[in-house]
């Protein structure tokens, strides 16, 4: 009777497995490894098993299929070898450990490869590459870029942030010390300072949203804001911050009388800021500042006198608010 070859065994084993992906496994080599092993699988053979399993993971072959194939190899070779069943089982266990370790390494490499692909795609998205080239790159890695999407720019890079964005289905990757995330649905919240651009359609919309997100993050940092800061929320600051020389003149001309300790010091600027933020409500301002309402009214009267502004007049209130916002933007006063 002709001796059964490793190639014959491969065909028999593949016929037993209910997974066509097993055809990509190095089963013939596995048969040879078991056939040539003594009491233990040699180091070189364990490395070959691990490498084989790593390639299987990169090719998206399930670990269950890898182990099923290895066990089938073990069963097929048991009757052809002179070693004891116990010794054969030890070899099977030894090989299983090597396969699992290699599969884990392959999984880690698959993750790294996917991260590299996402980073390259984001870099292309935010560059001046033609949209059709960017779309082709996205299609190759199975990412859809149609529809409306927003860009979130997170100020710090961490695995926690990346995991949060991944759970939300965002396309995210570190870039230049920040995380860039392209989001098509719910924006995941976190404590990190982040700028959020307005939603845009397709690749041009993503690029416009990225420009928004950069400006929003810049404003958030300058204002000392935390959490997600939509561009629309800091649009006034983005506008007035474009001409910092004129802004400085406005801030100094309006707020200098309020900064004098002889006149009352920074508490007047804080009171003005809170009062404006609380919709001109004296009661709400008193609660925020933890002072009596009479104190708020007194301070507002002093603010009006010192600045020569009529706080009942919309134009004068606008000037005061512009100066207070500008002072924050210039770093002159703490954020209220």
Domains of the chain: 6-111 (no CATH), 133-237 (no CATH), 241-329 (1.10.10.2840)
What pLDDT does 206 receive? Answer: 93
Residues in the chain: 336
Angle (deg, nearest 10), helices 267-277 and 314-329 = 110
Query: What's the start-to-end Cα distance of the chain, in Å?
Result: 91
Q: Mean pLDDT, the chain, as a whole number?
A: 87
What pLDDT does 79 receive? Answer: 66
Residues 99, 100, 101, 104, Cα dihedral to 10°: 120
Q: What angle do CA 228, 112, 194 make, to 5 degrees?
A: 10
Mean pLDDT calculated for residue range 253-262: 82
What pLDDT does 198 receive? Answer: 94
Pairwise CA distance, residues 87 & 66, whole Å? 22
Other residues' Cβ atoms within 10 Å of the Cβ of residue 237:
21
Other residues' Cβ atoms within 10 Å of the Cβ of residue 283:
10
Pairwise CA distance, residues 189 & 265, whole Å? 37
Mean pLDDT calculated for residue range 204-221: 92
Q: Dmax of the chain from CA atoms?
A: 113
Distances from the Cα of 98 to the Cα of 23, 40, 70, 88, angstroms: 20, 12, 11, 16
Burial track 243-269 (b if 16+ CB lie within 10 A, e otherwise): eeeebeebbeebbebbbeeeebeeebb
Please write the tens of the pLDDT for every residue from 180-203.
Answer: 999 988 888 888 999 999 999 999
Pairwise CA distance, residues 110 & 101, whole Å? 14
Pairwise CA distance, residues 204 & 214, whole Å? 16
Among residues of the chain, what percentage have pLDDT more than 70? 94
Task: Please list the helix, strand and coil fractions of the chain in percent, rounded to the nearest 5, in that order.
Answer: 65, 10, 30
pTM of structure: 0.63
Pairwise CA distance, residues 137 & 135, whole Å? 5
Pairwise CA distance, residues 50 & 53, whole Å? 5
Please write the tens of the pLDDT for every residue from 140-154.
Answer: 888 888 889 999 999
Interacting residues of 210 by C-beta distance below 8 A, sequence separation 6+: 125, 126, 151, 153, 180, 197
What pLDDT does 108 receive? Answer: 86
> How does residue 1 score in pLDDT terms, banded at 50, 70 and 90?
very low
């Amino acid at each position: 009777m002709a001796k059964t070859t490793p190639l014959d065994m491969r065909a028999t084993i593949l016929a037993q497995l209910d997974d066509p992906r097993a055809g990509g496994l190095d089963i013939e080599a596995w048969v040879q490894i078991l056939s040539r092993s003594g009491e233990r699988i040699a180091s070189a053979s364990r490395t070959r098993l691990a490498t084989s399993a790593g390639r299987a993971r990169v090719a998206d072959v399930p670990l269950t299929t890898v182990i099923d194939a290895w066990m089938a190899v073990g069963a097929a070779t048991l009757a052809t070898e002179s070693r004891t069943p116990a010794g054969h089982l030890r070899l099977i266990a030894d090989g299983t450990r090597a396969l699992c370790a290699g599969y884990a390494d392959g999984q880690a490499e698959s993750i790294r490869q996917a991260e590299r692909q996402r980073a390259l795609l984001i870099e292309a998205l935010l560059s001046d590459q033609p949209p059709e080239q960017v779309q082709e790159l996205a299609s190759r890695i199975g990412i859809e870029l149609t529809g409306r999407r927003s860009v979130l720019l997170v100020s710090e890079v961490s695995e926690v942030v990346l995991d949060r964005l991944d759970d939300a289905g965002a396309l995210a990757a570190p870039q230049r010390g920040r995380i860039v995330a392209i989001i098509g649905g719910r924006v995941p919240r976190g404590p990190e300072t982040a700028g959020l651009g307005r939603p845009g359609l397709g690749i041009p919309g993503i690029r416009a949203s990225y420009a928004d997100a950069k400006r929003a993050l810049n404003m958030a940092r300058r204002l000392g804001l935390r959490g997600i800061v939509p561009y629309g929320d800091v649009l006034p600051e983005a506008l007035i911050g474009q001409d910092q020389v004129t802004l400085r003149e406005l801030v100094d001309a309006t707020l200098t009388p309020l900064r004098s300790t002889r006149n009352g010091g920074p508490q007047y600027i804080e009171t003005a800021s809170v009062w404006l933020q609380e919709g001109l409500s004296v009661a709400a301002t008193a609660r925020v500042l933890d002072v009596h309402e009479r104190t708020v009214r007194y301070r507002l009267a002093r603010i009006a006198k010192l600045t020569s502004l009529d706080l009942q007049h919309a134009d004068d209130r606008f000037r005061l608010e512009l100066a207070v916002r500008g002072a924050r933007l210039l770093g002159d006063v703490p954020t209220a």
